[in-house]
Structure formats: structure tokens, C-alpha cells
Amino acid sequence: MTSNRGVAYKGPGEVEVVDLDYPTYELQDGPGVNPANVGRKLPHAAILKVVTTNICGSDQHMVRGRTTAPAGLILGHEITGEVVEVGPGVEFIQPGDLCSVPFNISCGRCVNCKTGRTEICLNVNPDRPGSAYGYVDMGGWVGGQAEYVLVPYADWNLLRFPDKDQALEKILDLTMLSDIFPTGFHGAVSAGVKPGSSVYIAGAGPVGLAAAVGAQLLGASVVIVADMQQERLDAARAFGCETVNVGEGDPREGIAKILGREEVDCGVDAVGFEAKGHGHGAKEAPATVLNSLMDITKAGGALGIPGLYVTGDPGGVDAAAQEGSLSLRLGLGWAKALSFTTGQCPVMRYHRQLMEAILHDRVQIAKAVNATPISLDDAPRGYAEFDSGVAKKFVIDPHNTTGLVAA
């Protein structure tokens, strides 16, 4: 039987590359697997040889010990791979197909999937609606930061690239289709970005930069990206964004210098629950971003919130934060008639269109987020560097399929 290795969460601040079982068409017991999912038969699944799998900021929350993720969990929900084997219930996907894997695991059969809400599928996670690979409280599906991974409901979930050779040439762009590009784009769409809009994006990590690219694709006139890390702000400026360093103070002043007014049409939270306050030496204050977005978004505007919020955070700054309760200025949001969109991005709503934009050279998302290929064995270093705030999106290439991994 073919061997397999993957990146395991060992405890706060520690990941390790470990040996693991080659995938089978049955969900096995393991860290984070809901007992109701153990032994689940998967004749509709495909086994993929992982071509690229990215380190995500959501992974980083777990690795910092800021969730209830169990030790031993195999990480990774951003997956692109080549199909090497299919189960007897797979009809259309074939071995040799190169595919993007939406991070949402969905069945394609429930009422939510049938209405396009694949992020809250009812049939794949006994804990609650919605599921993902290698993530806490998401049903226990094995993550894809590995050499091989199993994808259930393959005919439904997999996005097959039309030309394999062309796809391999653009693989660093296409690998972003599994999560951050659709997620950032969803943030911009749900914030109401239209041609001529002014947009404020809190957070210049990969999702924030993807939201900025998405806002530009939607026709925004001005895209303002805020962060505390100057290197990340420089990355945003490199593809035409305005920037505000909120480590220097309240964002209103920076917005006013750019627009001549202190409000924007649309706001996007690409930070999530580990947000810090504004100004020099700011400490963690998890409601800061949402409250500031309500303050600086015009009346009648909308907030897209792709940033992650959780129901359990052992490292929260207080008892309320530890259960995901934040001190929001909801009265302000109500008075301004603001709209809010939260939750996982329904990747399948966007990924085919964004694939076409990549294949036809409308966007260069890999360049925008500084995609940086590394080997599977180098994953612990990638996690450590990403945690330090570097302006990079680490792309793990377990088999050096890209030929871009440094020796």
C-alpha cells in the first residue's frame, strides 16, 4: 500500500510531519472525528495525490492554541490535487484529473446544498451544519496538508481544470481557489462592492489581500487596506491599493486623507477574533475591527465578514471572548441600517468564475499574496514564519509537482 505523511497539530505552537494511513473509502476514527462519523462508507469519494496545499490563517488560529482543536489533528483545508483513484459511486471524475477542492465539504443533496449554501451542508458534520478538511469541530475529515487525501462526494465537490498542462503552468494562482480567493471575493461581494465603490478592508493577510483583488475585479474605485504590519501594507500597495497603518491610530484620519471624508461605502473584516486595538502597543481587543467597521461604513452600507470567529477560544482575553461573545456596538450598526454577512464562504458559488478569470489572465492572485512554495517537511518553518506576520502565503508542495520548491 502507498505510504502517506501529513502535518499534525501537536499542541499550542507545535506542528509535526507524521506518518499517517493512506486514505480508504471509509471514515476512520481519529482526532476530532465525531463518533457518528466513524465507519461512514464513502463510495462516492476520490483519492487525490496532493499537488499543492496552503497554510491558512485559520490553521494558524488552531496552531496558536486559540481553538479547541485536539492534538494529532491532521491540518489543511486548502487543497489542489490529481485524482489517482475513485470509488465505485463516482461517475464523472476520473483518475488523472487535476482538480481544486473547495474547503467546504458538502453533499450536494440536502436543502442547503441545493440552494447554494454549501458552507452549511446538513449531512457531513454531526456536530453542526458545515464542514471542512482538517479543522476543529468540522466532523473529523482528515486534512489535506499531506501527500494523499480523500475527497467525499467527488463528482459534486471537485472543480476539474479543463486543461491540465495550462493549469500546472498557473498552479500557484489556481491553488488559491480552494479557499482564500473565493473567501476574499465573497467578503467583497457581501460588502456590496460595485463599480465605483470605496472599500475599507481590515487586515492585509492573504484573505484581506484576496478581498482587495476581488474588490478591484468588481470595479471598486478605491480599495483601502488596513493593517499593523508595514510589509503587508507594502504588498497591498504593490497592486494598486491605498493603505492605512492602524498601528499608528484610528483609521478615520487615514481614510479622510485618501477620500476627503471619513466614511467608505463598503467594509470587510479579514481579521477575525484575534483582532487587536488600534494605536501603538495595542493589545488584543477582539471587537475592535467590527466596531470600527460599523463606525466608518456609511449608513445603509454593508459589512462582509470573512474573518473567522469561533465559539470556543481557550486563549480569549476574558470569559466572554472565550465563548465567542464580543462587546459589539450593535446599536450603532442598527442606527446606521448596516447589513452583516458572516460565516464560511460558499466556495462553489464563485470558484468556477474565478478559475476562468485566472486562466484568462484577468487576475494574478498568487503574486498579490506572494505565494511561496515549500516542501511538506518544511511546513513547521512555514507555520512559524507565517505566525511572525511575514507577507507570504505558504504553499506546501508535497511531491514538488511545481518544480518550485527550493532544494
Question: Considering the chain, what is the average pLDDT of its residues?
Answer: 96
86 and 36 share a domain?
yes
Q: Is residue 266 within 8 Å of 197, Cβ to Cβ?
A: yes
36 & 155 share domain? yes
CATH of the domain at 148: 3.90.180.10
> Quick one: CA dihedral 206, 207, 208, 209, positive or negative?
positive
pLDDT in tens, 365-404: 999 999 999 999 999 999 999 999 899 999 999 999 998 8
For 353, counting Cβ atoms within 10 Å of its Cβ (0-12 exposed, 13-18 middle, 19+ buried), the class is exposed
Same domain, 171 and 184: no
Verify that 52 and 148 share a domain, yes or no.
Answer: yes
pLDDT at residue number 1: 57
Distance (Å, whole) CA 407 – CA 405: 6
Alpha carbon distance 353, 82 (integer Å): 21
Which of 341, 359, 375 is the endpoint of a domain? 341
The answer as to whether 79 is a domain residue is yes
Residues with Cβ within 8 Å of residue 305, at least 6 apart in sequence: 187, 190, 268, 269, 290, 340, 341, 342
pLDDT at 157 over 60: yes
Does the pLDDT value for residue 407 go beyond 70? no
Identify the H or E element spanning 372.
strand 371-374
Has residue 272 been placed in a domain? Answer: yes
End-to-end CA distance of the chain: 28
Q: Where are the alpha helices (DSSP H) in 16-148?
A: 57-63, 111-114
Is residue 103 in some structural domain?
yes
Nearest Cα neighbor of 267 from 216, 341, 332 is 341
CA 304 to chain centre: 14
For residue 189, being part of any structural domain is answered with: yes
Are both 287 and 389 inside the same structural domain?
Answer: no
Grid coordinates of 271: 481579521
* Beta bridge partner(s), residue 369: none
Which residues neighbour 22 within 8 Å (Cβ) at sequence distance 6 or greater?
1, 2, 3, 4, 47, 148
Number of domains in the chain: 2
CATH code, domain with 320: 3.40.50.720
Q: Residue 105's CB: how many other CB atoms inside 10 A?
A: 25
Domain ends where: 325, 341, 357?
341
User: Residue 241 in contact with residue 215, Cβ under 8 Å?
Assistant: no
Handedness of CA 382, 387, 388, 389 (dihedral sign): positive
Please check whether residue 404 lies inside any domain of the structure: no
- Per-residue model confidence (pLDDT) at position 304: 97
Residues 6+ apart with CB under 8 A from 277: 283, 284, 285, 288
Same domain, yes or no: 96 and 191: no
- Identify whether residues 204 and 230 lie together within a single domain: yes
Look at residue 280 in the predicted model and tell me its pLDDT. Answer: 87
Reported as a single tens digit per residue, the pLDDT across 6-44 is 999 999 999 999 999 999 999 999 998 989 999 999 999
165 and 80 in a common domain: yes
Total-model pTM: 0.96
Structural domain contains residue 311: yes
Q: Please report the pLDDT score of residue 281 as a whole number.
A: 86
Q: What is the C-alpha separation between 158 and 93, in angstroms, rounded?
A: 8
Distance in angstroms (rounded) separating the CA atoms of residues 258 and 262: 9
| pLDDT (tens digit per residue) in 78-87 | 999 999 999 9
Quick one: 141 and 263 in the same domain? no
Task: With respect to residue 405, please indicate whether it lies within any of the assigned structural domains.
Answer: no
Q: Is the dihedral of CA 37, 38, 43, 45 positive or negative?
A: positive
CA dihedral in degrees (223, 225, 231, 237; nearest 10)? Answer: 10
Would you state the pLDDT for residue 406? 76
The region, left, alpha or beta by phi > 0 then psi within -120 to 50, assigned to residue 39 is left
Question: Which helix H or strand E contains 86, and what residues bound it?
Answer: strand 78-86
The pLDDT value recorded for residue 233 is 97
Are 105 and 131 within one domain?
Answer: yes
- Based on the fold, state whether residues 147 and 119 are members of the same structural domain: yes
Residue 406 within a domain: no
Query: Within this chain, do residues 257 and 367 fall inside the same structural domain, yes or no?
Result: no
Q: Are 326 and 233 in contact (CB under 8 A)?
A: no
Range of the domain at 227: 180-341
Could you report the per-residue pLDDT of 99-125, keeping only the tens digit for each? 999 999 999 999 999 999 999 999 999
Which residue's entry shows cell 442598527?
Answer: 334
- Burial zone of 275 (CB within 10 Å; 0-12 exposed, 13-18 middle, 19+ buried): buried
